[in-house]
Homo-oligomer: A and B are copies of this chain.
């Protein structure tokens, strides 16, 4: 597929994340309290809330864009999703007869402050990166037990904390927690010293289910995708995670990109998951390409210093697609809800410089990274800003997500009643 040309000139640049082919959805304000729903196009945002108010946009149902969240749009179902996308593509295309009218509803993206684009119902985080699972397993359990016996059969996942999901631009406070070094007899309470990132994608469930669905059905349930940074406290995790998995190590914050890229926009970039190393059970088999080719990178900037790109990888490195994960999620009869967010698991490539976490990049702190500024990093320092970027690369255009940014603030002081 080629670039679809828009009368919004900046949308025709091969550099923009937001050509007419993309049209991702986000929620923003323009300096006051009022929240708008919009679609990004080049350097602008089409203000859907005001277009609906003025009855220029009408999808033929109840009010969808006046709620400060895309959740009502997602709940409206796939007929509404398709209508909205089609309306936007016609309206913003070169030669559109309504250019002069709609031009008045473009807000400059640079002036927008972004908010959570949807209400997260529940948040599940998967562990679908084979290189990541192997790397972490090797560090935590030794090379022989790196990949758990179930890993090649099950898209392993655990429930995360929906209340901790924040939009890009939200500062992230280093957590406190129980810590116990390998030589300590007892744990102590203090600030996390191994504060880390996880480069992931998030899939947003757009249709509910109350019984088991196939991989093909699961794929159709997904409304869209975001970039996702699953901030992780490695030292808290190491002490707490046996036997029931990560809990407080992953509950501080999970950042998502401000823009939801729809499944429709990613359609031309479908690809298959990697070759199976063990046959999958039939319920997990993919009827066609269910995964996506999306280039990803992470940049780290110390306070007041320029950024260094610390990893470059691709979504397609994951062993299980979001559709496979969602199908597995429903096997027990677990009810899925509109707004459920599925984290993909950390995306690491095979090469060292394609690993999706500092834990892996610095090999547990044993091989610190050297940044362009000359500083070194094993884990995050206070003041560090982390930026995730991602885009599916088309022919003369790209489908981007916008930056997913978070700055690390120092831990809260330990209250007196918690001091030893």
Q: Which residues of A line the B interface, CB within 8 A?
A: 121-122, 127, 137, 140-141, 148-150, 153-154, 156-164, 173, 175-178, 180, 186-189, 211-212, 214, 233, 236, 239-249, 251-253, 278-279, 281-283, 328-329, 331-337, 412, 415, 417-420
Q: Give which listed residue, B180, B240, B337, contacts A163 with CB less than 8 A.
A: B337
Q: Give which listed residue, B154, B160, B278, B331, contacts A175 with CB less than 8 A.
A: B331
Chain B residues positioned under 8 Å from A180 (CB to CB): 150, 153
Q: Across the two chains, which residue of chain B brings its CB closest to A334? A: B251
Q: How far is the CB of A276 from chain B (nearest CB, A)?
A: 12
Q: Across the two chains, which residue of chain B brings its CB closest to A137? A: B243
Among all A-B residue pairs, the 3 with the closest Cβ atoms? A245-B245, A251-B334, A159-B159
Q: Across the two chains, which residue of chain B brings its CB closest to A188? A: B281
Q: How far is the CB of A284 from chain B (nearest CB, A)?
A: 9
Chain B residues positioned under 8 Å from A140 (CB to CB): 243
Q: Give which listed residue, B157, B233, B248, B282, contacts A328 with CB less than 8 A.
A: B248
Q: Is the CB of B148 within 8 A of A333?
A: no
Chain B residues positioned under 8 Å from A189 (CB to CB): 281-283, 331
Q: Give which listed residue, B157, B159, B418, contacts A283 with CB less than 8 A.
A: B418
Q: Is the CB of B158 within 8 A of A247?
A: yes
Given A158-B159, A163-B334, 17 further pairs, Cβ under 8 A: A121-B163, A122-B162, A140-B243, A153-B180, A154-B178, A158-B158, A158-B244, A159-B159, A161-B334, A163-B336, A163-B337, A173-B333, A176-B332, A212-B415, A248-B334, A251-B329, A253-B333
Q: Is the CB of B282 within 8 A of A419?
A: yes
Q: How far is the CB of A212 from chain B (nearest CB, A)?
A: 7
Most buried by B among A150, A180, A241, A332: A332
Q: Is the CB of B252 within 8 A of A334?
A: yes
Q: Give which listed residue, B159, B236, B241, contacts A243 with CB less than 8 A.
A: B241
Q: Give which listed residue, B159, B240, B283, B412, contacts A161 with CB less than 8 A.
A: B159
Q: Give which listed residue, B149, B281, B329, B337, contacts A248 with CB less than 8 A.
A: B329
Identify 6 residue pairs between A and B in the complex whose beta-carbon atoms are under 8 Å apart, listed by A's number: A149-B242, A150-B178, A150-B239, A178-B331, A187-B281, A243-B245
Chain B residues positioned under 8 Å from A251 (CB to CB): 329, 332-334
Q: Across the two chains, which residue of chain B brings its CB closest to A417? A: B214
Q: Across the two chains, which residue of chain B brings its CB closest to A248? A: B332
A150 to B240, CA, bound (A): 7
Q: Is the CB of B418 within 8 A of A212?
A: yes
Q: How far is the CB of A91 from chain B (nearest CB, A)?
A: 37
Q: Is the CB of B186 within 8 A of A154?
A: no
Q: Across the two chains, which residue of chain B brings its CB closest to A420? A: B282
Q: Give which listed residue, B137, B187, B244, B252, contacts A156 with CB less than 8 A.
A: B244
A336 to B253, CA, bound (A): 12
Q: Is the CB of B282 within 8 A of A150?
A: no
Q: How far is the CB of A383 from chain B (nearest CB, A)?
A: 18
Q: Give which listed residue, B141, B150, B187, B244, contacts A246 with CB less than 8 A.
A: B244
Q: Give which listed residue, B161, B186, B233, B249, contacts A122 with CB less than 8 A.
A: B161
Chain B residues positioned under 8 Å from A236 (CB to CB): 332
A335 to B337, CA, bound (A): 21
A163 to B205, CA, bound (A): 14
Q: Is the CB of B412 within 8 A of A248?
A: no
Supposing A178-B153, A212-B415, A417-B214 touch, asked if A243 and B331 sit within 8 A by C-beta, the answer is no
Q: Is the CB of A332 within 8 A of B418?
A: no
Supposing A159-B161, A159-B247 touch, asked if A212 and B176 sit within 8 A by C-beta, the answer is yes
Q: How far is the CB of A252 from chain B (nearest CB, A)?
A: 5
A350 to B7, CA, bound (A): 75
